[in-house]
Amino acid sequence: MPGEGISVALIGTGFMGRAHSHAYRNVASMFPECPRPRLKLICGRDRGRAEALAARFGWEEVSTSWEEAVRHAGVDLVDVSVPGALHAPVSIAAARAGKHVLCEKPLANSLEEARAMLAAVRQAGVRHMVQFNYRRVPAVALARQMLDEGQLGTLYHYRARYLQEWGVHPQVRAPWKLDKEQAGSGALGDLGSHMIDLCRYLAGEIREVTGMTETFVKERQATGGSATVRVTVDDAALFLARLDNGALASFETTRLAPGRKNHNFFEINGSRGSLYFDLERLNELNFYSLDDPPGRRGFRNLLATAPQHPYAASWWPDGHLLGWEHSHTHAIRDFLVAIGQGQLPRPNFEDGVKCQAVLDAVARSVASRRWEAVDG
């Protein structure tokens, strides 16, 4: 029996607040081995919005002060689902209050902040995780398994793209994402951090980078209004990298790719085979093996819904697709299980710092127009 559960304070009522609420509500239903989370408190600046989410998902209490929420005596775990500028203050305050911390990605708006956050959770001795949820898509976790089995041999190439379309539309849904003060950077931090984390998860540490960024659309309309917002972040970022293991890597992200709604793609080439994945078909992993006989080789489309696949057996029979939201449920399941077992999950704040170090090196490279080493 999972015991009395883990009490959660969710800070944030936006898209991620809603997605995490859904995950907390369902995780123990589908994963009975998981400590049952108690939806203790939801916190947002707009009380009406917080109350609405509380009513919908069953949060017991509502707060409009994150400073109070993170210190709430009845709370074990603080979930930080707010714009980037608040990640550090909220997470650090939560850690100091002795709470476990789950923080949305990227960990921070700067490498310094990220390091301070890591120091804080370490000093407090609490558990911590960064919500790089795409590690928990079953097809992605399957890729990790196959790499562990050695199915790809020596790695030569890692190739990542994260392309979205929404930037081409005049009205934008999350204006804070266009403001450097709040978001730190644009596509680079928002989507690039996902690419970097998956590369570190699947292929290895990034040693050095060279990159470029651009802001094509310099003014935008805020959602639902005629107000013009000045854009202070990039809407596209590209960089090349060398991994510690010698593999070459390429990364490209943009918010200006018509038709690519959520194209988080990776491809890995090794001496024995290849893998590729696209978040727009997230139940599928494509695998090519040189171990197949000549003339019988081809990319194999694996539908990652079989009982042998990560997380899948807890849901439905083979062939019944999962969706995007399940990656959040799985990540939260793994964090709760880790807390229950007194373990530190991955990716934790140390991973968050390492990701931030790569983002930092890319930004330095954009300025210097040279290769820059990732600060280890």
Site for a second copy in 160-199 (CB under 8 A): 161, 163-166, 168, 173
Please state the closest distance from residue 127 (CB atom) to a second copy, in A: 24
Of 40 and 326, CB closest to a second copy: 326
Pairing, β 6-11 against β 37-43: parallel
Confirm or reject binding of residue 270 to a second copy (CB under 8 A). yes
Confirm or reject binding of residue 3 to a second copy (CB under 8 A). no
Instruction: Please select the residue that binds a second copy; options are 206, 282, 332, 338, rule is CB under 8 A.
Output: 282
Q: Is 49 exposed, middle or buried (0-12, 13-18, 19+ CB in 10 A)?
A: middle
Confirm or reject binding of residue 259 to a second copy (CB under 8 A). yes
Window contacting a second copy (CB under 8 A); options: 122-130, 196-204, 313-321, 336-344? 313-321
Window contacting a second copy (CB under 8 A); options: 5-13, 104-112, 212-220, 330-338? 212-220
- Give per-residue burial for 123-157: e unless 16+ CB within 10 Å, then b: ebebbbbbbbbbbbbbbbbbbeebbeeebbeebee
> Using H for helix, E for strand and C for coil, what is the string for 34-103?
CCCEEEEEEECCCHHHHHHHHHHHCCCEEECCHHHHCCCCCCCEEEECCCHHHHHHHHHHHHHCCCEEEE
Confirm or reject binding of residue 32 to a second copy (CB under 8 A). yes
Of 86 and 212, CB closest to a second copy: 212
User: Total binding residues for a second copy by CB under 8 A?
Assistant: 95
Of 254 and 348, CB closest to a second copy: 254
Please state the closest distance from residue 299 (CB atom) to a second copy, in A: 5
Q: What character string, x for contact with a second copy (CB under 8 A) and - otherwise, covers 102-131?
A: ------------------------------
Backbone angles phi, psi at 72, to 5 degrees: -55, 130
Confirm or reject binding of residue 274 to a second copy (CB under 8 A). yes
CA 213 to chain centre: 21
CA 335 to chain centre: 14
